[in-house]
């Protein structure tokens, strides 16, 4: 078993090093930090449409937009800067 591992490991490592590591598949997290302005507009539209409350919590924003919690908190603070919901 040890011989098989020692023999196969260099082959696997060589194949891994040839992969294109610069590409991002988008499957590494649920965040949309690069699109915060677009998400802000979308959040405000959901509030205007009544799909989100006037002062939505970060959790409600996260569920509606399917974004990361950090982004949802930033959006909550952007669309409702005067509230202390969830802090």
Question: In tens digits, what is the pLDDT along the chain, a chain of 87 residues?
Answer: 889 888 998 898 888 888 776 655 544 445 445 577 888 999 999 999 999 999 999 999 999 998 889 889 999 999 987 765 555
The residue length of the chain stands at 87
Quick one: which of 87, 55, 67 has its CA closest to 26? 67
Residue 26 is assigned to a structural domain of this protein = no
Residue 35 is assigned to a structural domain of this protein = yes
Number of domains in the chain: 1
Contact 67, 34 (CB under 8 A): no
Q: How far apart are CA 16 and CA 58, in angstroms?
A: 39
Which range of residues forms the domain containing residue 44?
31-87
Say what the pLDDT of residue 38 is.
86
- Its pTM stands at 0.56
Q: How many CB atoms lie within 10 A of CB 61?
A: 26
Say what the pLDDT of residue 67 is.
87
């Amino acid at each position: 078993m040890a011989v098989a591992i020692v023999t196969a490991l260099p082959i696997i490592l060589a194949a891994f090093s040839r992969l294109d590591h610069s590409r991002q598949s988008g499957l590494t997290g649920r965040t949309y930090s690069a699109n915060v302005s677009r998400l802000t507009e979308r959040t405000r539209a959901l509030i205007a449409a009544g799909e989100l409350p006037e002062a939505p919590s970060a959790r409600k924003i996260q569920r509606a937009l399917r974004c990361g919690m950090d982004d949802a908190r930033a959006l909550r603070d952007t669309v409702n800067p005067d509230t202390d919901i969830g802090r």
